[in-house]
Amino acid sequence: MFTELRLDGVSRSFGSADALKDLRLAIKGQEFVALLGPSGCGKSTALNCLAGLLPLSGGSIWIDDKRIDGLAPEERGFGMVFQNYALFPHLSVRANIAFGLKMRKVAKAEVTRRVDEALRLVQLTEHASKFPAQLSGGQQQRVAIARAVVLEPPVVLMDEPLSNLDAKLRIEMRMEIRRLHQTLGLTTVYVTHDQEEALSLADRLVVLRDGTVQQIGTPEEVYAQPANGYVASFMGYRNMLTLDIASVNGSGLVVQGKGIRLSGTNRDGLTAGQAVAAVRPEDFVVGDSAGNSIEVTVEIVEYHGRELSVSARLPNGDPVFFRTDKRLAPGDIAGISVPAERVLVFAP
C-alpha cells in the first residue's frame, strides 16, 4: 500500500491541441477520486496517462517517492475498467478474470482460489464458464471489474464504466462499485461525465474543462460551493441568469435585469458590470413572497411523481427552471423566491 499517488503537472497534447494541461493532483491511498467533465475535457486522457496507455507530453507521476511515468502499462500493475468492458471474447468469464493472475505467474491453486473469491464478490459464480457474449451488459461490466480487482492492484482506474448501461442497472452498479470500494479499500480513479455518479461515489471530485482543472473538492464542496460559473452549471445550477450588478455590500450583492431583481452571494469579488446568477431549480420556493422573489409565467410542467419540474418565463421572456410540489398549470403566474445565499453570483 502507498500513501500518495501524485500527478505533478501532467500534460498531454495531440498535435497542437492540448488535451490535458498541467494536472496537479495528490491522491491518498484508499481514496476514491472522480474526474468529472463533459466529453473532450481531458478526463479520459488523464486516466490513460495514469494507466501508461498514453505517453505524457509533460510532467511526472509518482507513487510516494517512486517515479512511475516511465513504466509501461504492464509494469505499473494498475487495474483498469474500460468503457466498453474490453472483455476477451474468446475466453470464458473465469479465464478472463484469471488472465492477469496467469500473467503474474501465480500458482494454479492460488489462481483458482482468488478467481472464485472475485466471482463471489461480483455475484457471478454460476456464470463462470460462460463467454462474455452470453452475458448481459451489467454482468459483463461486473466481469470487467472483477478482472481488474482480482489482482488487488494498488490503483484501480475506471473509464466511464457505467455509461453503456441502462438507467436502472446504472444505479445498481453504482452501489456495487461503492460497496466494492468499501470492502476492498482500493485506491480508485473514476472518470465520468455524470455529476450524480461522481457525487454519489467519490471522496473527492476533480472537475475538468478543456484540459484544465476547474475545482478539486469533496462532493459537498463542489455541490454547494462551486468554484466558478462553469462548475456551477455543470453541477446542476440550471438557471444561469446574466444580469447587471445593482449594488455590492460586502459578500452580498444585488443583481437586476430581465425584469427581475435578486439578492445573492458574491463569489468572484465582483464590483460592477455584468454577472451571472446561478440558482438550482430545487432552491426556488413557490408562493413564499417574503423578499428575494420573482414573478414568472408557467410554460411547461413535467410530472415527476413527488414534485413538478417547471419551465417558466421571466418578465422579459427568458426561461427559468424550478421544482415544486404545488400543482401548477401552464399559463399560471407564480411568485418564486430563493434565499440570497443560494443565489451564487459569478463573473460572466
Q: Least distance from C-beta 303 to other proteins, angstroms?
A: 41
C-alpha–C-alpha distance, residues 135 and 29, integer Å: 33
149, 175 contact by CB (below 8 A): no
Least separation in angstroms between CB 81 and other proteins? 9
Cα–Cα distance between 79 and 115 in angstroms, integer?
15
Q: How far is the CB of 265 from other proteins (least distance, A)?
A: 44
Do the Cβ atoms of 10 and 213 come closer than 8 Å? no
Provide the minimum distance between the beta carbon of 76 and other proteins in the complex, in angstroms, as a whole number.
Answer: 8
Between 148 and 262, whose beta carbon lies closer to other proteins?
A: 148
Query: Shortest distance, CB of residue 37 to other proteins, whole angstroms?
Result: 21
Q: Please pick, from the candidates 23, 80, 173, 343, the single residue that binds other proteins as defined by CB under 8 A.
A: 80
In the chain, what are the helix, strand and coil shares in percent, each to the nearest 5? Answer: 30, 35, 35
If the CB atoms of residues 124 and 308 are measured against other proteins, the closer one turns out to be 124
Q: Whole-angstrom Cα distance, residue 280 to residue 233?
A: 9
Instruction: Look at strands 274-279 and 344-346 and give their pairing.
Output: antiparallel
Q: Print the binding letters for residues 28-67 with other proteins: x by CB under 8 A, - otherwise.
A: -----------------------xxx--------------
Rg (CA), the chain: 24
> Of 96 and 263, which CB lies nearer to other proteins in the complex structure?
96
- How are beta strands 187-192 and 155-159 bridged, if at all? parallel
Can residue 104 be called a binding residue for other proteins (CB under 8 A)?
yes
Nearer to other proteins, 84 or 274 (CB): 84
Least separation in angstroms between CB 282 and other proteins: 39
Among 15, 65, 66, 89, binds other proteins (CB under 8 A): 89
The residue within the footprint of other proteins, chosen from 37, 42, 59, 100 (CB under 8 A), is: 100
Nearer to other proteins, 76 or 342 (CB): 76
Query: Least distance in Å: CB of 8 to other proteins?
Result: 22
CB of 116 vs other proteins, minimal distance in Å:
18
Number of residues that bind other proteins (CB under 8 A): 28
Inter-residue contact 181 to 149 (CB < 8 Å): no
Q: Measure the CA angle with vertex 183, ends 179 and 186; round to 5°.
A: 100
Q: Are 209 and 41 in contact (CB under 8 A)?
A: yes
- Which residue's CB is nearer to other proteins, number 106 or number 344? 106
Judged by CB, which is closer to other proteins: 62, or 131? 131
Interface pick for other proteins out of 29, 40, 58, 73 (rule CB under 8 A): 73
Give, as ranges, the residues between 123 and 162 that touch other proteins (CB under 8 A).
131, 133, 147-148, 151, 157
- The amino acid present at 241, given as its one-letter code, is L
Angular region, 340: left φ>0, alpha ψ -120 to 50, beta rest: alpha
Per-residue cell: 230 = 462553469
Identify whether the C-beta of residue 208 lies closer than 8 Å to the C-beta of residue 222: no
Tell me which residue of 180, 165, 174, 222 sits closest to 197, measured CA to CA: 174
Q: Point out which residues bind other proteins (CB under 8 A).
A: 51-53, 72-74, 76-80, 82, 84, 86-90, 99-100, 103-104, 131, 133, 147-148, 151, 157
